[in-house]
Amino acid sequence: MDASDIAALDIGGVYRGAQAVRQFWREWLAAWETVQFDYELVDAGDRVVALIDQRMRGRSTGIEVPFGKYAHVYTFRNGLIVHWKGYMSHSEALAAAGLRE
């Protein structure tokens, strides 16, 4: 990885609004030549838990990076995503949505 890849990997912030979320994804995806993932979606009422296993190839280095398993919890209101939070483990995300693995 070079310095431009490292800057794109800063995912610790809070992003509010559609424009900020678009900017996050633009920056994240710019660092990778390829992004591949397997996922499972779990219904949790007004939430959906996405259980993800991801791997990428760096754009500037060509290095394969197994990102591994992580999860997102999306909260919906009136058919729209109103909150999205990432978790570093499947079990953590399932627990946050009131489910158990």
What digits encode the pLDDT tens for the residues 39-97?
999 999 999 999 999 999 998 899 998 989 999 999 999 999 999 999 999 999 999 99
The predicted pLDDT at position 10 comes to 56
Domains of the chain, with CATH numbers?
A: 3-96 (3.10.450.50)
Cβ–Cβ < 8 Å for 65, 54: no
Residue 100 confidence class, pLDDT cut points 50, 70, 90: confident
Average pLDDT over residues 13-20: 82
Q: Strand order of the sheet with strand 32-44?
A: 32-44, 47-58, 64-77, 80-87
Give CA–CA dist 8/10, Å, rounded. Answer: 6
The predicted pLDDT at position 67 comes to 86
Per-residue CA distances from 23 to 14, 27, 35 (Å): 12, 6, 17
Beta-bridge mates of residue 52: 39, 70
The predicted pLDDT at position 12 comes to 65
Residue 5 confidence class, pLDDT cut points 50, 70, 90: very low
Residue 7 confidence class, pLDDT cut points 50, 70, 90: very low
Report the SS3 class of residue 57: strand
